[in-house]
């Protein structure tokens, strides 16, 4: 295999990591910052900025913002986490199973911890459902991208 082909493969991997792993986290972090001033890491950022820049919306009155605030962020987290796991295990034969299951199991574990009051948060079966959607969506996209990467290389 030539050095150019190896370089293209790694370049594709880095681009996929940025687009599939980091970009969803960045979008989720911005949404969290704007719409969730009560979240712990948002309070830390506010202390660093010495001022908060938030959009205050009554979540009981606005269903779209409530869905974004509580469910889209879980989809983005799960999607991003699954993609990072895919990149770590890209050469493994069971990469899709590993990449889809790890975020689902971790999300389920976090929900159990929330249900038992060990960590703060609200245990919600819908959180687990959207984490499954995010992981499986990432798996579908990754399988298409990986096939394309290996066909071209």
Rounded Cα gap, residues 137 and 78, in angstroms: 9
pTM over 0.85: no
Amino acid 98: pLDDT: 86
129-138 pLDDT tens trace: 999 999 999 9
**pLDDT tens sequence across 68-110:** 888 898 899 999 999 898 888 877 778 888 888 888 899 889 8
**Structure-token pair, residue 13:** 């991997």
Q: What is the pLDDT of residue 150?
A: 60
For residue 86, the SS3 value is helix
What is d(CA 102, CA 99) in angstroms, rounded to the nearest whole number? 6
Q: Give 87-144 as a DSSP string.
A: HHTTTSTTHHHHHHHHHHHHHHHHHHHHHTTSSSS---HHHHHHHHHHHHHHHHHHHH
- pLDDT, residue 65, reads 80
Determine the Cα angle at 104 with ends 100 and 107, to 5°. 145
Residue 48's pLDDT band (cuts 50, 70, 90): confident
Average pLDDT, whole number, for the chain? 83
Question: How large is the average pLDDT for residues 47-65?
Answer: 80
């Amino acid at each position: 295999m030539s050095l150019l082909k190896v370089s293209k493969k790694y370049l594709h991997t880095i681009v996929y990591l940025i687009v599939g792993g980091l970009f969803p986290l960045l979008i989720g972090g911005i949404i969290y910052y704007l719409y969730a001033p009560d979240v712990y890491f948002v309070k830390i950022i506010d202390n660093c900025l010495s001022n908060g820049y938030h959009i205050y919306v009554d979540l009981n009155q606005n269903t779209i913002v409530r869905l974004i605030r509580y469910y889209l962020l879980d989809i983005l987290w799960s999607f991003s986490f699954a993609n990072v796991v895919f990149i770590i295990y890209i050469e493994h034969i069971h990469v899709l199973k590993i990449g889809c299951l790890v975020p689902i199991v971790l999300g389920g574990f976090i929900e159990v911890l929330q249900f038992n009051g060990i960590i703060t948060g609200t245990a919600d079966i819908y959180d687990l459902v959207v984490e499954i959607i995010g992981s499986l969506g990432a798996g579908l996209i990754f399988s298409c991208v990986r096939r394309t990467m290996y066909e071209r290389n």
